[in-house]
Amino acid sequence: MMKSDYKKYVLQFTQPAGTSRGVYTQRTSWFVFVYDSDNPAQTGVGECAPLPGLSPELNANFTEKLDDICKNIEHYRKLTPTDLAEFPSLKMGLKTAFPDYQNKGTKIFYRNAFTEGKRSIKINGLIWMGSPEFLDEQIRDKLNDGYACIKMKVGAIDFEAELSLIKKIRREYGAQDVEIRVDANGAFRPADTMEKLKALAALDVHSIEQPVKAGQHELLARLCKETPLPIALDEELIGIHSLGQKQDLINYIRPQYLVLKPSLHGGFGGCSEWIELAEESKTGWWVTSALESNIGLNAIAQWTSTLESRLHHGLGTGQLFANNFDSSLYLENTELKYDVNKTWELSALFND
């Protein structure tokens, strides 16, 4: 008989992680366990990783829903596209736990060149917000490590100071050498957004994620039409569940890119719908993790590896948290790879 339970686990950042929404020092994930009552050693694990301030499901009886799922796990075994639409991180956790259970806890969900250790995933180097000196130090480290794409959070310090850091990069590296993406997390004021977009475009910045706060569709549509710099939607996609709603949003705003986060944007199924609509409208896209542990990151990386995308993706490296789990993922030459010989270490998760 299939059974299920869950555990709350607090991940500790190795150093404070700054965004325009505040500074993270820790983040909480909930891990769903699926197992056979006659063979508890064969356990599937899935990570549910909603983000405070971004995931509406945290305000919608999240733990009560998780309790219900675990008590009625057989009912949730075959999820339809509309099931758990308002609980994307729970959906992603289940969509990971069930196949992991079926595969005897191997943490392999897709048999392909990535999980065979023969292919890697190109990722960007992430620059967290902070003082100009801290930003400069991170940028220098990423460039010295050889990253061909860096993503810089903007909107926390003086914009001119942020521009000066980008200018410094461009004095040494042209756009053909280093791709620069910026992420405002909605921090720009509508009145001066276009001026900032022009300044960034002049420095050959690749794109900007979510320049203004989500929900301003008329403003975003105008910006995307007139912008000198490609605009990527991120937070704008949260809470858009139905295929029709997704189609309407893309048709109205006409963004240049979508940034897809399975834990926020409907799990793998929801993100696949976004990808299909994006490609129909010639909208670009890439995948980004959302501060999951290595368990969630592993699932996202494996799914991303099936998409055959040549762009750099915003996947984590497993190095953010002091109490992360040893996994088969590793970084080599700024690309994410899978070590077929590495053993997972999950004792911290299973021990009380």
- List CB contacts of 38: < 8 A, sequence separation 6 or more: 1
Q: Is 337 among the catalytic positions?
A: no
Name which of 183, 205, 178 is nearest 334 in CA terms: 178
The one catalytic residue among 151, 153, 213, 246: 153
Q: Is 110 exposed, middle or buried (0-12, 13-18, 19+ CB in 10 A)?
A: middle
Q: Across the strands, what pairs with 345?
A: 326
Q: Across the strands, what pairs with 321?
A: 13
Q: Report the sign of the C-alpha dihedral through residues 159, 165, 166, 170, in that order.
A: positive
Task: Check: CB of residue 297 under 8 Å from CB of residue 303.
Answer: no
Instruction: Match 């709603």 to its residue by tokens.
Output: 245
Name which of 270, 274, 264, 273 is nearest 296 in CA terms: 264
| Phi and psi, residue 82, nearest 5° | -95, -15
CA pair distance 247, 253, nearest whole angstrom:
10
Number of H-type helices and E-type strands within the chain: 10, 13
The three-point CA angle 14-185-274 to 5° equals 105
- Integer-rounded Cα Rg, in Å, for the chain is 20
Phi-psi region of 78 (alpha: psi -120 to 50; beta: other; left: phi over 0): beta
CA pair distance 225, 232, nearest whole angstrom:
13
The one catalytic residue among 107, 151, 246, 261: 261
Task: Check: CB of residue 303 under 8 Å from CB of residue 266.
Answer: no
Which amino acid is present at 68? D
Q: Is 261 among the catalytic positions?
A: yes
- Residues with catalytic annotation? 153, 261
